[in-house]
Amino acid sequence: MQINSPATAPDYGAGNLREGNLDVKVLLKGREGSLNNYRLSFETAEESWTTPRHRHNFDQIRLPIKGVVEYGKALPTLPIGVVAYFPESVHYGPQVRHDQSQTLTLQLGGASGNGFMSPEERRRGFDDLLKKGSFEKGAYNWHDEKGQVHRQDAYEAIWEYIRGRKLVYPEPRYTTQVVMNPDHFGWLADSKQRGVSRKWLGTFTERQLHVSYVRVEPGAILRVEKYPAPQIVFVVKGAVSYQGKSCGLHTAFGLEPGEGAELIGVQANELMYLQLPSFAEEQGAASEAAPEREDATV
């Protein structure tokens, strides 16, 4: 299991595709080449950081932690503590992250099976494309052999270079982003785990991307059951312990497919739980079968 926090996480270092400076700490990352590869990042804007209106062929979950972040007319300022799901193929932006704003961002392979580029793949593509063009204002610009100027979304250009084919966006499963306010959900006691309660925020697509909040009373044990896809637990408030070590605010736990864990409540807490999409590839890699119900027992 991966365990990390912003204080110990490495910098992203895969090239800046947008305007401004964004300090990105990579808390967790998945397995390169996996259909549900992912990256969980703790991001702090320095001065401001902007992107044009765009879309991706992967899914995203965002949690604003501090400051002001804007996502365009369809999704204006996202309040602190509100969770947003950005489905693949759905446009958003222009995006503006104001100075010192902080956001937890999960980017992951969506249900379409396009996967997600690893930091190493993106860095390689960024460096290679710089040899014949430039990145500016969220786009990649280059001249062909006839001197004609071409302009393309920066991430899209790198994806096509790395994958060696045209990026074809899947038909969107949703028409817009899904915004969830955890404060407006009620806590439900877990009948199987004493001292554990949950807020079930949402489950998305046929691949079962799941988002919920979990609360573990001091001394109670949260058993994260084995599941055939990666699982993530992020400490939003308070602290828990793992194998005798206290893990406080903004600690992230990344479980591999087929891996379980036990977390013990230390002080009043709230945890974000994320169950990543399940693909046949990952099911085969799991060491044990998934629980009978669709969502893993956290």
Q: Are residues 213 and 169 in the same domain?
A: no
Residues 2-47 have pLDDT tens digits of 999 999 999 988 777 788 889 999 999 999 999 999 999 999 998 8
Q: Domain containing 247: what range?
A: 184-285
Q: Are residues 193 and 153 in the same domain?
A: no
- pLDDT given at position 20: 84
The model carries a pTM of 0.90
* pLDDT at residue 294 is higher than 80: no
Q: Are residues 4 and 19 in the same domain?
A: yes
Q: Are residues 176 and 225 in the same domain?
A: no
- pLDDT given at position 70: 93
Residues 120-176 have pLDDT tens digits of 999 999 999 999 999 988 899 999 888 899 999 999 999 999 999 999 999 999 999
- pLDDT given at position 127: 94
The per-residue pLDDT of the chain, averaged, comes to 91
* DSSP per residue, 109-141: --TTS-----HHHHHHHHHHHTTTEEEETTEEE
Q: Are residues 155 and 243 in the same domain?
A: no
**201 within 8 A of 182, measured Cβ to Cβ:** yes
Instruction: Give domain status of residue 293, yes or no.
Output: no
Last residue of a domain, one of 118, 150, 180: 180
CA distances in angstroms from 173 to 87, 88, 90, 105, 223, listed in the order given: 8, 8, 9, 21, 32
**159 within 8 A of 117, measured Cβ to Cβ:** yes
* pLDDT at residue 264 is higher than 70: yes
Last residue of a domain, one of 125, 150, 180: 180
Q: Coil, helix or strand for 230?
A: coil
- pLDDT given at position 281: 54
Last residue of a domain, one of 135, 158, 180: 180
Instruction: Give domain status of residue 297, yes or no.
Output: no
Token readout for 181 is 């306010």
Q: Are residues 90 and 214 in the same domain?
A: no
- pLDDT given at position 280: 63
Q: Are residues 174 and 257 in the same domain?
A: no
Token readout for 118 is 């690893």
| Cα distance between residue 28 and residue 47, in whole Å | 25
CA atoms within 13 Å, Cβ hemisphere of 78? 33
Alpha helices in the chain (DSSP H): 119-129, 154-163, 280-285
Q: Are residues 116 and 152 in the same domain?
A: yes
Token readout for 150 is 């071409």
| Cα distance between residue 156 and residue 140, in whole Å | 9
Give the residues across from 274 on adjacent strands. 211, 232
Residues 174-191 have pLDDT tens digits of 999 999 999 999 999 999
Residues 44-74 have pLDDT tens digits of 998 888 998 999 999 999 999 999 999 988 7
- pLDDT given at position 76: 85
User: In percent, how much of the chain has pLDDT > 90?
Assistant: 82
Q: Which amino acid is at 202?
A: G
Residues 237-259 have pLDDT tens digits of 999 999 999 999 999 999 999 99
Instruction: Give domain status of residue 291, yes or no.
Output: no
- pLDDT given at position 296: 53
Q: Are residues 95 and 219 in the same domain?
A: no
- pLDDT given at position 290: 37
Give the residues across from 102 on adjacent strands. 44, 66
Region 90-97 average pLDDT: 94
Instruction: Give domain status of residue 146, yes or no.
Output: yes
Q: Are residues 6 and 93 in the same domain?
A: yes
Instruction: Give domain status of residue 296, yes or no.
Output: no
Total structural domains within the chain: 2
**Preceding amide of 94 cis, omega within 30:** yes
Instruction: Give domain status of residue 242, yes or no.
Output: yes
- pLDDT given at position 162: 94
Q: Are residues 158 and 281 in the same domain?
A: no
Instruction: Give domain status of residue 50, yes or no.
Output: yes
**CATH number of the structural domain spanning residue 128:** 2.60.120.10
| Contacting residues for 157 by C-beta, under 8 A, at least 6 apart | 125, 129, 140
* pLDDT at residue 291 is higher than 50: no
* pLDDT at residue 283 is higher than 60: no
- pLDDT given at position 77: 86
Instruction: Give domain status of residue 292, yes or no.
Output: no
Q: Are residues 126 and 210 in the same domain?
A: no
* pLDDT at residue 224 is higher than 90: yes
- pLDDT given at position 84: 97
